Amino acid sequence: MQKNMQFSREDRGQMDSAGATATTAPRGSKNEALIRFSDFGKNFGKGAKTVVATRAINLDVLSGQFVTIVGPSGCGKSTLLNAVAGILPPTQGQVIYRGAPVHDVNRRVGYMTQSDHLLPWRKVAANIALPLEIQRKPKAVIAERVNELIKLVGLDGFSDSYLSQLSGGMRKRCALARVLAYDPETLLMDEPFSALDAQLRITMQTEVRDLCLRLGKTVLFVTHDIDEAIALGDICVVLSERPGTVREIITVNLPRDRDLRRLRSDPHYVETTEHVWALLAPPSVAQKGRVA
């Protein structure tokens, strides 16, 4: 708990979040945020064992925005997503979704986590059909929609396979198709690609970004990988160590249809990642520059 002290209070690093997001609004959503964290804080446990996971979070997410959240592990990134989903109630403040505080399970969002949580006893097509079955859609409608989705995520020819026959990347595609099946307006992604190898990861990152832009999804994408955070985000929220507070909200000035494979040589990308590395590195390391 002591080492939390070494990081600044929220008043130092935090920029005016409304200002930061306004400039990157992808479509004119009449400056009304789709998701608003308003002085949000979450503690776990009671009494002496209380863990302050995150506190004093103020953040606006506009409709259609791809927002990445980066920070050291344990700083409350997953907690933020859980709060948007309505799975964890806030200790302080609130999360406002479409103008109303989130109280119960928020059905307008879809969740993807690091482990894909597919059902091993179902084949690929049946896995993707799960949310549609829950909505009691007619069989024919389900079949048609599942077919579309399988094409959309590039799983053609695997609809009749069991998951044990798929590679890691294909399982991710399957999980992505499943979450897209019920067409939630917001996607919450919690380090979905951290278990993939570098090549596959960049492929999946490209596809997810392109798909989400094309489908007009609002995305909250959590990662502990700074490069990923900058590469994917329209804006990137940098959190401090626990208790997590917003250190900085970075507007990523890269084109919306950026090519992720070419980013490494983009000066703005390099500069921005360096900046975040410096922000997140422990002070002693920060002085020596970037140490991987």
Partner 1 sequence: MSVWLIRLVIVGGFFAFWQFGAGTVFNEFFFSRPSAICGQLWDLMASGRLFYHSAITLIEALAGFACGSAAGLLAGIVLGRNEVLGKALDPIITIFYSLPKIALGPLFVIWFGIGIEMKIVLTATIVFFLVFLNTYTGVRGVSRELVAIMKLMGATERNILSKVVLPSVVTWVFTGLRLSVPYALIGAIVGELIASNQGLGYLLSNAAGQFNTAGVFATIVAIVVMTMLLNATVKFVERRMMPWQDEQATREVSI
Ligand X SMILES: Nc1ncnc2c1ncn2[C@@H]1O[C@H](COP(=O)(O)OP(=O)(O)O)[C@@H](O)[C@H]1O
Q: Which does 119 bind (CB under 5 to 8 A by kind): Mg ion, partner 1, ligand X, none?
A: partner 1
Rg (the chain; Cα; Å): 19
Which residue's CB is nearer to Mg ion, number 142 or number 196? 196
- Residue by residue, DSSP assigns 214-282 as HHT-EEEEEES-HHHHHHH-SEEEEE-SSSB-EEEEEE--S-TT--GGGGGG-HHHHHHHHHHHHHHS-
Q: Which does 79 bind (CB under 5 to 8 A by kind): partner 1, ligand X, Mg ion, none?
A: ligand X
Q: Which does 53 bind (CB under 5 to 8 A by kind): ligand X, Mg ion, partner 1, none?
A: ligand X
Q: Does 192 bind partner 1 (CB under 8 A)?
A: no
Contact 118/163 with Cβ under 8 angstroms? yes
CA distances, 143 to each of 123, 139, 149, 171 (Å): 13, 6, 10, 19
Q: Which does 140 bind (CB under 5 to 8 A by kind): Mg ion, ligand X, partner 1, none?
A: none
The distance of closest approach from Cβ of residue 52 to ligand X in the complex, given in angstroms and rounded to an integer, is: 8
Q: Does 157 bind partner 1 (CB under 8 A)?
A: no
The distance of closest approach from Cβ of residue 110 to ligand X in the complex, given in angstroms and rounded to an integer, is: 18
Which residue's CB is nearer to partner 1, number 133 or number 210? 133
With CA atoms as reference, report the closest residue to 41 among 245, 249, 222. 245
Q: Does 105 bind partner 1 (CB under 8 A)?
A: yes
CA distances, 166 to each of 140, 151, 172, 177, 240 (Å): 26, 16, 10, 14, 37
Interface map 51-90 toward partner 1 (x if CB under 8 A) = ----------------------------------x-x---
Q: Which does 34 bind (CB under 5 to 8 A by kind): ligand X, Mg ion, partner 1, none?
A: none
Residues contributing to the site for ligand X (CB under 6 A): 44, 51, 53, 71, 73-79, 242
Helix (H) or strand (E) holding 42: strand 35-44
